[in-house]
Homo-oligomer: A and B are copies of this chain.
Amino acid sequence: MKVTTFGEVMMRLSTPNFSRFPQATQFDINFGGGEANVSSSLAILGISANHVTRFPDNDLGLTATNIFKKFGVGTEHIIYGGDRIGIYFVEKGAAMRPSKVVYDRVNSSFATLQSADFNWEEILKDTTWFHFTGITPAISEAAFQACLEAAQTANRMGITVSADVGYRSNLWKWGKRPNEIMPQLIENCDIIVCSKGDAADMFGIIPNDEKGSFKSVCKQITARFPKVKKILNTKRGQISASHNTLLGRCWDGTQMLETEAINIPDIVDRIGGGDAFMAGYIYGELIYKDCRKALEFGVAASALKHTIEGDFNLVSVQEVEAVVKGDVSGRLKR
């Protein structure tokens, strides 16, 4: 049982505490990426996981690789080349002040990869589940191409394929619009994460019932992409930068499962919360083989991620299960 993910990893440089950019004299260093956060979180939960990406062949690429090794993520299919590691700068918000991200990922080693760099049959050997996100095809044509080949190869090899189709408006600069591209990728997917907004941006699908329901969107998606069996979505209640709520939904083709909303006060770091949900959901599907349990595990894992600095979800299965069982008391563990 092995999960393989493919996507860009960025160095994340965040100002300490609540410093704004012009105040900071230091950056805290982390690494993350929408797909890598999934494989790292799975590795930390004890699932064999492998991340495929491209790093520059310099000290920063080496350092990034080390971090994945540290948390047990397989790094043997990482390739090296290109000019630079993508960077994103983070300033943490509080109360009514939002956290802020400044991207500096143009021309990264990942963006300048060539699809021929990857032998997917070789890479996906022994893989049970392949995961990517809508960020990857948005980065460059070659990244899209590599992603498509990966998904198609995974399909041929009988591997479960999932995608978080989240639309990022500040990417997609290489010439194609998401709706020209994403459908080809989604055709190969078994499970997707997709919001109402994403469906509109990516597939031009909008609700067609009176209530404008998400369910009506899901039905259209499964009609258009018959391979897609489940559509996941999280609904974030945004009370403040420091206080959110979160619930998860899953359209399984027949019904819309929905968890209770979990309260997330005193947020430590919100970034990577969606990826932690995905990792938790995959864990649940692989171990419990039950969609509702997977959904609950995903939401609980995501809630815990909000209490941890950095993109990776450093939690154990027992910790997530305690939250699933409703223990959110945070009672001291001696």
Contacts and interface: CB of A to CB of B under 8 A. Distances in A.
Interface stretch (A24-32, A145-153, A193-201, A210-218): A24-32
A23 B309 contact: yes
A28 B29 contact: no
A322 to B, nearest CB: 8
A20 B314 contact: yes
Interface stretch (A54-62, A125-133, A183-191, A253-261): A54-62
A242 B22 contact: no
A23 B334 contact: no
A224 interface: no
A71 interface: yes
B18 A309 contact: yes
Given A22-B314, A29-B26, A66-B71, A93 B59 contact: no
Interface in A120-161: none
Contact of A328 (B91, B95, B265, B319): B95
Contacts of A243: 265-266
A266 B94 contact: yes
Contacts of A317: none
Interface of A: 13, 16-29, 58-60, 62-63, 66-67, 69-72, 83-85, 87, 89, 91, 93-104, 106-107, 168, 170, 238-243, 262, 264-268, 270-271, 303-304, 306-310, 314-315, 319, 323, 327-334
Given A24-B29, A26-B27, A60-B104, 8 more contacts: A26-B28, A83-B106, A94-B330, A98-B331, A100-B332, A101-B333, A242-B330, A266-B266
11 contacts: A17-B309, A18-B307, A21-B62, A25-B28, A59-B91, A69-B69, A94-B267, A96-B262, A96-B328, A97-B319, A271-B332
